C-alpha cells in the first residue's frame, strides 16, 4: 500500500489544522476552561469519526489501538461523552466556514451545480416495524440543499432544513456566498426555476442553465420575462447534462458516510451532517492529489523521460 493511503489520517489532521487556521478558529472557545483538549483536536476527532462511520463509543475504543492520537498529540484519550458535548455546543456556522474553506484544496472548475436530497432519520428495524404494524417510516428526514463544483465534485455551500421546502427558496442564501467566484455555467433542475434565480446567475456573469418549466411555451406574460428568455435562448443540453454529476456527489456521500443520521435532536443532526460533508470534501481533495501524484510518477518513470533526462544532464 502506498504512502498516500497508509498515512491517510495523518494527512487528515494536517488539512483540518490548516482549515482551522484559515478560518480563524481559536484553540479554546472560553478563557476559563480545562485546556486538556484543543478545538483543533476535537474537530479532527469528529471528522475522523464520520470517516470511520463508528458511533462515539466505538470510535473512542478504536483510538486505543490506533496511531491517530500521535498525529494530533493527544495527552490522553477523551471519554466519548466529551466529543458528544463538544458537538452539541459547536455552532453550525463554524462548520459551514470550514466547508467553505475546503474550496482552497481544489482548482476551481467552470461549472457549478445545485441539488437537494434527504438524509434518513429512521433507525427502526424491519422486525420492529412489523411488530407495531407500521408501514410508513417511523421518522422523516433532514433536507440537504447544496451547491457544488461539478468538475471536482466538492460541496461549496449547504442549506439544511428540518422539513421539506421548495428548492428555489433556498437558492439565494447559498448563491450569495459564491456569486463572486469566476465560473461560466450554473446547472440545476426545474426545482430551482425562478426569475430571481436566473437574474442572480446572469448578474454574476454566468450562463443560467437552470431548466425552466414549460420550456416550449412563450413567456410574454411571465414575470421576469427578460431573464427567462435569456436563459431559454442560451440553454445547452450538453452542458445541462453535467447536472447528473450533482447526483453522483450525493451518491458518494451516502455510500461512504451513510444515509442515516444517528443524532436525535435537529441541532445535533445538522452538526453530524456537516461533519459528514467536511470529511467528504477532505477525502475528495486527497483522492485528487493522490491521482495527480500517481500520474506524475508514471510520466517521470517512463523510458522516454529517462532518456531525455540523461541527454539533458550530458548537455547541461
What is the rounded average pLDDT of the residues 286-313? Answer: 63
User: Within its chain, how far is the Cα of 309 from the centroid?
Assistant: 41
With both helix axes pointing from N to C terminus, report the angle between 266-300 and 244-257 in degrees, rounded to the nearest 10. 110
pLDDT at 95 over 90: yes
C-alpha cell at 41: 483536536
C-alpha cell at 255: 455510500
Q: Which of 21, 47, 26 is nearest to 38 (CA)?
A: 26
C-alpha cell at 206: 454566468
Read off the pLDDT of residues 32-58 as tens digits, 9 standing for 90 and up: 778 888 999 999 999 999 888 888 999
Asked whether the beta carbons of 50 and 9 are under 8 A apart, the reply is no
What is the rounded average pLDDT of the residues 143-169? Answer: 89
Q: In the CATH hierarchy, which fold is given to the domain comprising 106-286?
A: Nucleotidyltransferase; domain 5 (3.30.420)
Q: Which of 190, 183, 182, 209 is nearest to 198 (CA)?
A: 209
Read off the pLDDT of residues 3-29 as tens digits, 9 standing for 90 and up: 444 478 888 888 999 999 888 888 888
Asked whether the beta carbons of 212 and 266 are under 8 A apart, the reply is no
C-alpha cell at 243: 447536472
CA distance 141 to 215: 32
37-41, 129-133, 219-223, 268-272: segment of lowest average pLDDT: 219-223
| Maximum alpha-carbon separation in the chain | 83
Spans of all domains in the chain: 3-90, 106-286
Alpha helices by DSSP H, the chain: 3-6, 8-22, 39-52, 56-63, 68-71, 80-89, 92-101, 126-131, 171-175, 195-203, 225-233, 237-240, 244-257, 266-300, 303-315
pTM of the model: 0.85
Q: Which residues pair with 12 in a beta bridge?
A: none
Three-state secondary structure string covering 103-128: HHHCCCCCEEEEEEEEEECCCCCHHH
Q: Where residue 314 falls among pLDDT bands split at 50, 70, 90? A: very low
Amino acid at each position: 500500500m502506498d504512502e498516500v493511503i497508509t498515512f491517510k489520517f495523518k494527512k487528515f489532521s494536517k488539512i483540518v489544522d490548516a482549515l482551522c487556521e484559515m478560518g480563524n478558529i481559536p484553540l479554546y472557545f472560553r478563557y476559563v476552561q480545562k485546556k486538556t483538549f484543543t478545538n483543533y483536536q476535537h474537530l479532527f476527532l469528529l471528522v475522523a469519526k464520520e470517516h470511520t462511520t463508528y458511533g462515539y463509543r466505538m470510535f473512542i475504543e478504536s483510538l486505543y489501538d490506533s496511531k491517530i492520537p500521535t498525529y494530533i498529540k493527544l495527552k490522553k484519550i477523551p471519554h466519548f461523552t466529551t466529543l458528544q458535548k463538544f458537538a452539541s455546543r459547536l455552532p453550525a456556522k463554524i462548520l459551514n466556514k470550514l466547508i467553505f474553506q475546503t474550496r482552497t484544496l481544489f482548482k476551481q472548475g467552470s461549472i457549478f451545480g445545485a441539488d437537494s436530497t434527504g438524509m434518513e432519520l429512521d433507525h427502526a428495524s424491519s422486525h420492529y416495524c412489523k411488530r407495531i404494524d407500521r408501514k410508513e417510516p417511523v421518522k422523516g428526514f433532514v433536507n440537504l440543499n447544496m451547491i457544488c463544483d461539478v468538475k471536482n465534485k466538492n460541496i461549496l455551500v449547504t442549506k439544511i432544513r428540518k422539513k421539506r421546502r421548495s428548492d428555489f427558496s433556498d437558492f439565494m442564501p447559498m448563491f450569495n456566498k459564491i456569486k463572486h467566484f469566476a465560473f461560466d455555467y450554473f446547472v440545476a433542475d426545474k426545482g430551482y426555476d425562478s426569475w430571481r434565480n436566473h437574474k442572480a446567475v446572469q448578474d454574476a456573469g454566468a450562463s443560467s442553465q437552470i431548466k425552466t418549466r414549460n420550456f416550449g411555451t412563450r413567456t410574454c406574460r411571465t414575470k421576469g420575462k427578460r431573464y427567462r428568455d435569456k436563459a431559454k435562448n442560451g440553454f445547452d443540453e450538453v452542458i445541462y447534462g453535467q447536472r447528473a454529476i450533482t447526483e453522483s456527489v450525493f451518491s458518494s456521500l451516502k455510500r461512504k458516510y451513510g444515509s442515516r443520521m444517528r443524532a436525535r435532536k435537529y441541532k445535533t443532526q445538522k452538526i453530524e451532517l456537516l461533519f459528514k460533508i467536511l470529511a467528504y470534501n477532505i477525502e475528495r481533495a486527497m483522492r485528487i492529489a493522490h491521482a495527480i501524484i500517481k500520474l506524475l510518477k508514471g510520466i517521470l518513470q517512463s523510458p522516454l523521460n529517462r532518456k531525455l533526462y540523461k541527454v539533458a544532464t550530458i548537455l547541461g
